Amino acid sequence: MQWSSTEWQGCVVASPDGRVDEATAEAFAEHLASSVALAAASEGRKLVVDFAGLDYMSSRGLRALTLAKRQADAAGVTMTLARPNEVMKEILAISRYDKLFAVTDSLEGAL
Amino acid sequence: MLVRFWGTRGSLPVAPNAAIIQEKVANALLAASGRSFADLDEARNFARDELDFATGSTFGGSTTCVEIEAGDPDAGDPFIVCDMGSGLRGFGLDAMRRCAGGHARVYHFFMSHLHWDHIMGFPFFVPAFDPNAHIIIHAGHADAETALRRQQEEISFPVAFDWLRAKIEFVTLKPGETYQIGAVQVELMEQHHSHSSFGYRFTDSGGKVTVFSTDSEHKMEKMDGEADVEHFFRAADLVVCDTMYSLADSVSMKEDWGHSSNIVAIDLCHGAKAQRLALFHHEPVYSDADIARMHAESIRYEELTREAVALEVLCAYDGLEVTL
C-alpha cells in the first residue's frame, strides 16, 4: 500500500492508498502511528486520515484505526476520517465505526 | 454431518413478551392485507414462505446448545452436543424420543466453557435421570465437574447432582491433540475469554468439518495470533462463531467482555477459506428485527470484502438444521 503525509492548515493529512487487508494491515498501523506522532507535534494537533485513495478495509484495518485513535487521544490529537468511498462508507456503517469516529465527505469538513 | 441448533442466544435466555408477539401479528396482518386463506395450512405456508423471518418467526431465546449428528445413529453412533445452555432442555426431550426409537443412550458433550449460560440447561436435561444413559462431558477445563456440581447445590437447585441416575464421566481434553470420539475426530483450541474458553473442530469420516467457536474475543493487540484461528477454521464446511457485538462495540464499551463481532468472524472465515459461517451467540437485548438486520449487513460485508470463493453467511436460530 502507498502512504503519504502532508501538513495542511496546521494539521496532518495522512493519505493511504489501495486496500487494507491481512497483508497490509501491519504497515497501515505503523503509518498511522507515525502520523499520530507527526500530528502531536503539529500546530493544530489534528490528524485527518484521507480515505479518498482507499478501496476497502477489513477488520484488521478498522482495529488498527482504533489503536491509532487511542494513541491520538493520549497525545491530545483529534482524529477524523475524511472522504470514504461508497464501499468504505458501507463498511464504516456495518461495523458501526461511524459511531466511533467523526467521518466527513471533504477534507475541509474535517478541519 | 447434520448440525442442529437448540440454543443460539448469548448470556441470558430471553422470551418474547405480549407486546412483541402483538407487533409480529400486526405486521403479519398488514402483509396479508387483501389476502384470504382457505385453511390453516395455506396460512402456515404464507407465514413460512412470504413473511420476512423477523415477522413470521423468531431467532429464539435459548442459550447455547448445538447438536452435531455424525456417522450413523441407527447403527449406534452416539449423540454429540456442544454446551449445555437452556437449549439443552429441548434437546434432552427430543433425545428421549429418539432413544425410545433405538438411538444409543450415549451422550458426548463438548464444553466451550463453564459460564452460567453454557451450563444452565443441565439440571433440566431429562436423560441425566435415565439409569441406562451414559453421559461423557469433555472439556478443556479441568474444573468442569466442580461447575456442574456447584449449580446443583441446594442453595441453587433442589435436585443434587448425586441424585442423577445416568452414568456421568468427566474428561479433560488438551489442545494440540486429536481425539476420535463417537463418529468424529475432535481437536480443540484455547480462546480468549474470562476463565478461558475452547473452540472445537469436528471432522467426520467423510471429511466434513464443523467448527464450534463461541465466547471468543479476538483482541486488537493480538491480531498476529489470528493466523492460528484461521488455521483452526481452515476449509471448514461450517464455522459456528460468536458474533455477539458490532465491531465498534467489541473494541470500545464492550472490550474485554470476551466476545467477537460479525465483521471479525467473516474476515477469519475468509482467511480460512471456510464454506459457511453461522452467526451465533446473539446479544439478548437484540430483537428479531435487530438480528435480521445484523444478518443482512453481514452478508453485505462478506460481498464487499470477498477476494476469492464466496462465504455463505447463515444466521443461527433455535431450530435451524444445517446439512453438510
**Domain ranges, residue B41:** 18-56
Which chain A positions have a beta carbon within 8 Å of B271's beta carbon? Answer: 22
Q: How far apart are the first and last CA of chain B?
A: 5
Q: Residue A1: is its pLDDT beyond 80?
A: no
Q: Is B138 found in the same domain as B88?
A: yes
Q: What is the pLDDT of residue A23?
A: 87
pLDDT at residue B224 in the model: 80
Domain holding A80: CATH number?
3.30.750.24
**How many folded domains does chain B comprise?**
2
Co-location of B9 and B124 in the same domain: yes
Contact B263 A87 (CB under 8 A): no
C-alpha cell at B244: 455477539
Candidates B249, B264, B304; nearest CB to A90? B304
Among A60, A85, A94, A101, the strongest candidate for a mutation testing the B interface, having the largest count of B CBs within 10 A, is A94
Q: Specify whether B40 is located in the same domain as B129.
A: no
CB contact, 8 Å: A30 with chain B?
no
Q: CA geometry: angle at A66 spanning A64 and A69, to 5°?
A: 110
- State the Cα–Cα distance between residues B172 and B170, nearest whole angstrom: 7
**Chain-chain contact of A66 with B252 (C-beta, under 8 angstroms):** yes
In the A/B pair of chains, how many CB contacts fall below 8 A? 57
Looking at the fold, whether B24 and B118 belong to one and the same domain comes out as no
Give yes or no: residues B140 and B210 share one domain: yes
Both B140 and B78 in one domain: the answer is yes
CB contact under 8 A, A94 and B264: no
Residue-wise pLDDT tens digits, A68-106: 999 999 999 999 999 999 999 999 999 999 999 999 999
- Asked if A86 has any chain B CB less than 8 Å from its own CB, the reply is no
Summarize pLDDT for A37-62 with one digit per residue, the tens.
999 999 999 999 999 999 999 999 99
Model confidence, pTM: 0.95
- How would DSSP label each residue in B199-250? EEEEEETT--EEEEE-S----GGGGGGHHHHHHHHTT-SEEEEE--B-HHHH
Number of domains in chain A: 1
Partners of B266 on chain A (C-beta within 8 Å) are: 59
Whether residue B215 sits in one domain with residue B155 = yes
Are residues B241 and B197 both part of a single domain?
yes
Task: Let me know whether B98 and B22 are in one domain.
Answer: no
Same-domain check for residues B91 and B221: yes
What residues in chain B have per-residue pLDDT under 70? none
pLDDT digits (tens, 9 = 90+) for B174-226: 999 999 999 999 999 999 999 999 999 999 999 999 999 999 999 888 888 89
pLDDT given at position B71: 96
Q: Which domain holds residue A44?
A: 2-110
Q: Verify that B173 and B201 share a domain, yes or no.
A: yes
